[in-house]
Amino acid sequence: MTGRGAIGESAESVATRRRAVKGAGSVLAARLGAVIEVVAQPAYTWMFGLPTYGLYMVLWSLVNLIENILDLGMTSGLQRVLPQAANARARAAAVRGAFILGVLPNLIAALLASLLAHRVAPLLNVAASDLPRLETAIRLFAWALPLWATIEIATSALRALHAFGPEIRLRLLWEQIARLIVAGGLWAAGVDTLGLLVAHLASLAITAALSLRLLGRFIDLREVMGVRLDRPAYADLFWSGISVLPANILARIFSDLPTIIANMLAPGAAGAAAAGLYAIARKVASIPQIVRQTMGYVLAPIASAAARGERETIQALYGFSVRISMLLATPTAAALVAGGAALLATFAHGSEAALPIMAILTAARAIEATLGPATAIQQVIGRRSLPMLNSAIALAASAATLLLTKDILAVTGIALSVAVGQISVAALSVAQLRAQEGLFAFQAPFTRSFLVALASCAAFALLALATTSLPRWIEGLVMLAAWPIILWISARLGLAPQDKAALGKSARKLRLGPA
């Protein structure tokens, strides 16, 4: 398989690739907050119980889903508009417009949800012990909507300005660690149902304030508050967001709606526990997604900025990101599935039932990683109608799968339908970038990287067979110890010389071999 950019790249292309690698390293460190979040989940289930954890995840899923609709795609719209802004005033105007269009609807929704909590409460299945405080929980947690919208838009603006590194402190320290500390303190103080919700709101409030402060280092917030955005600029920002909104909603539907549907499968505590099981599986399956998401975060603004220049730069970055994503994410997914039973044993009793759900969702993430960040690139340089089309096709495929499997497979059928939809979007984006933009995902030396990634997955499968008879905790420790070793071998053997050269000092420090 060959394509432009594999040989004889321009100096500009090589320099841009190295800049992307540097940014990806910073974003990857920031996205490791997702790993801390996964590590924290067992503690939440032990402290508050699986049904209460399930209620918390249903409410957070509702917030995520609603916020993603009501922010009108401003997080993605900024990725297209901000890198192309001509001056500081235009950048400030774009950020102001994004906050107005994205936060205000969420503020109104939070007020309505608080007022109508008594109507929402009967729709949720919860344990008997959580029922007396359910309406209070809804009224309280509704205010996560404007807080989350503020964080999402502010950090999106930072990424669009290529300020990848500063997000680390927010995502690691304040959003995740602060949440865990507050939750632990409230649990120790005897706060049960509301403990997780209050901890989550506290961490969001801190993160929102700090994200605005951080944004102020790159854009004058006084200018943001005072600048006027003319009607054509508002229209450009609005349509840039709306064009990718269906794709954004689809991504959240696949992530969050299944938790809500799982809650509806059974009454009372059983429905809450089902939601908790799905949420646990989804959290674990999100780990391989970190690499693909990282490359998408970095490549989207770079591709937008380079859209008017030669395609070689984007092509080189695209092929490189596919290989890196595959070599890191697929062995990680294999390790999670192979050690899944041991991993789920760290959660509260009964969480082992999430294993088949976790295996399906994790495998889907591995396939997405192999297909690369085509969706993120398409959103900023492709035709605006394509994300909508892809969303409709993937949603139809997912719904058909759910209708065929829900009565037989229950929550596992939900996971299968999500996997079908996620893979459909990624595959359609890959095909359309090839047809519409002439960008080829599987650029040489893809075959070499693909075979090494397969071999790494096979190694974890063999290791799982070899440790089947061992106690779960030993099996888990073996997988944990083998993961960095196999990952290093995967990168050393699977990366071509030009890929190692792009990694620069990182490749030398990790001793990945000659460039």
Task: Give the start-to-end residue ranges of the domains of the chain.
Answer: 1-31+265-515, 33-245
Give the mean pLDDT per block of 10 residues along the chain (515 residues). 43 54 54 66 90 93 94 84 76 86 94 94 90 93 96 86 64 76 92 89 92 87 79 79 80 85 86 90 84 61 54 76 87 92 87 91 90 77 74 89 83 90 90 84 86 94 91 90 92 84 74 72
Q: What angle do CA 377, 35, 253 make, to 5 degrees?
A: 50
* CA torsion, ordered 287, 452, 297, 33, to nearest 10 deg: 30
DSSP characters for 233-268? HHHHHHHHHHHHHHHHHHHHHHHHHHHHHHHTSSSH
State the SS3 of 100-147: HHHHHHHHHHHHHHHHCHHHHHHHCCCCCCCHHHHHHHHHHHCCHHHH
pTM for the full model? 0.79
How far apart, in whole angstroms, are the C-alpha atoms of residue 371 and residue 359?
19
Which burial class, exposed, middle or buried, applies to 407 when counting CB atoms under 10 A from its CB (0-12, 13-18, 19+)? Answer: exposed
Alpha helices in 216-339 (DSSP H): 221-226, 231-263, 268-306, 311-338
Residue 408, Cβ neighbours under 10 Å: how many? 8
pLDDT score at 6 = 42
pLDDT score at 22 = 54
138 close to 109: Cβ distance less than 8 angstroms: no
What is the identity of the amino acid at 266? A
pLDDT score at 30 = 53
φ/ψ of residue 7, rounded to 5 = -130, 145
pLDDT score at 176 = 80
CA gyration radius for the chain? 22
User: Tokens 């889903």 identify what position?
Assistant: 65
Q: Note if the bond before 445 is cis, omega within 30 degrees.
A: yes
